[in-house]
Structure 1
Amino acid sequence: MPKPVEIKVNKVNNPETLQTVFAIRKEVFVVEQKCPPELEWEHEEDSHHFLALVDGEPAGACRWRKTDLGYKLERFAVLKQHRGKGVAHMMVSTALRDLPSDADYIYLNAQIDAMPLYAKSGFEKVGEQFEEAGIQHFKMVKKRV
C-alpha cells in the first residue's frame, strides 16, 4: 500500500518562492505543453500566487487575479510526478477560499482535460470551445450556492 502524501498549498509571499512557482509553470506549460513563453508571463504583479507542496517538495502552482469581469483562477500546473495525488483539487480549494468575500463572479479558462477537476469544485462550462496558447479550452464559471 502506498504511503499517504501530505499536500499543503501556501500563498506566496516572497520572491524566492515566486521563482519556484515560475519554474513549475515553465516546466508544465512551456516545456511540456509547448506554450509560447511570451504568453505565459503576464499579469504577474496583479496576481495572488500559490505553491503546492507534496511531502515538502514543490509540486504545483496556481494564481487568481481580479479582472474587469470578476475573479479569474489561472495557471494551474502540477508537475508530472505529482499528478493523480489530489494536488490540483487542493489548489482549487485553497484559491477559492482565498478570494475576497465579495467575489461574486468567479471564472477560469479550462483546458479540456482539466474540466472534470473544475466541475468537482462547482464550475460549469459556458460558451463555445476556443484555443488559447495552441490548446483547446472552455470558459467555466463557478455556480452560485
Structure 2
Amino acid sequence: MSQPVVVDSVAALRAQIRDWRRDGLRVAMVPTMGALHDGHISLVRIALQKAERCVVSIFVNPTQFAPSEDLDKYPRQLARDLDQLGAAKADLAFTPTVGEMYPAGFATKISVGGPSAGLESDFRPTFFDGVATVVAKLLLQATPDCAVFGEKDYQQ
C-alpha cells in the first residue's frame, strides 16, 4: 500500500491539481482535521466515484476553537492518517501549517450570521466563522470539481 502524495503549500497543491487538469482529470476534495476514521474513509470512496483524483486536506483549524477550548489537545496522528488514505487510494494529502493557511497580514474572514443562530454557535461563538473561513480557503486553494462532506458537517 502506498501513501498519497503529501504537500504542505498552496503552491504545491495548485501545481499538482494543474497537472491533473492538463490530463483531463476531475478532482474531488475531502476537507478534514485529521484523526481519520471510517467515516472519513467512506468520504474518500465517494470522492473517487465522482472524480479521478482525490485530495484530502488535513488541517486542525485554530480559528474554529474558542479561547476556552484546548486546541493543543485535538488529536494529531498524521502517519496513521496517511496510511489510511493510502489504503483508500486517496491521491494527495494537503497538510498545510497554520502559517500557510493564515499568513501574516491575513485579514479576510467569513462571518456566518442568521443560519447559525440556535446551533453550535450558541456555545462556541467563533466556531461557524472559523469553519466557514477555512472551508472557503480550502475550496479556493484547491478549486476542486466537487467536495465531499460527511453528515457531521451537515450543521456546518
TM-score (norm 2): 0.25
Question: Which of 1 and 2 has higher RCO (CA within 8 Å, sep 6+)?
Answer: 2
More helix by percentage: 2
Larger-Rg structure:
2
TM-score (norm 1): 0.26
